[in-house]
Amino acid sequence: MKVKKYLNFIYESENYLQSQFKISKKHAHHGLEGVCETIRWLNSSIFKEAVADLTCYITDEPINFPGELAIDDVGSFEPVIYINIMSVTECFQNKEYIIDLKKNRTTCFEYAAFVLLHEVGHYIHALIGGNGKSKKERLFDYFDRGEYHYERFIDNMIDGNTYKEKKRYRNIPHEKAADNFARQYVEYICDQ
């Protein structure tokens, strides 16, 4: 797995991060350590061959998603996992881990590791469960087969921020599978 970092904000002062983004500098850096340790673990794990062509793009731009697996549908096959450490930190501070990790207490390190592993889980499940000859074909097939569930969720969504809606989102089959993958392996990273 290749890594690209575009980090500016998390190196600002604690006061700046609190006043502008309402996040803790300590939590942001602890989350970044969790992402970096997860990448080290993945590159030496049983998944190292599968994730070799992945790029993990770590950013701290103030946008509202913690992680996303993206595949360019034109040109060469370059799957990218975007991890937004600011959003990971905000989700951690808002105790999203209660729904995601199904834990009442955790660290930002563990939560950030979970977020990255969740996206890797989508990738691994697509490679295993998707139809097609190439990785790209299998990924697109996997996500095409899950599209119905995401569209149904969006059709019934009010604002997407309530506990009930977040819980419903976690029950989308692809999300549930990726969560289970992440929960299964996050302990390996945190126990090192």
- pLDDT tens readout for residues 97-143: 988 899 999 999 999 999 999 999 999 999 998 898 988 899 889 88
First to last CA, the chain: 20
Residue 190, by phi and psi: left (phi above 0), alpha (psi -120 to 50) or beta?
alpha
Distance, in Å, from the CA atom of 185 to the CA atom of 192, rounded to the nearest integer, reads 12
Residue 46 confidence class, pLDDT cut points 50, 70, 90: very high
State the number of CA atoms in the 13 A half-sphere of 71 facing the CB: 19
Q: What average pLDDT does the chain have?
A: 91
Residue 171: strand, helix, or coil: coil
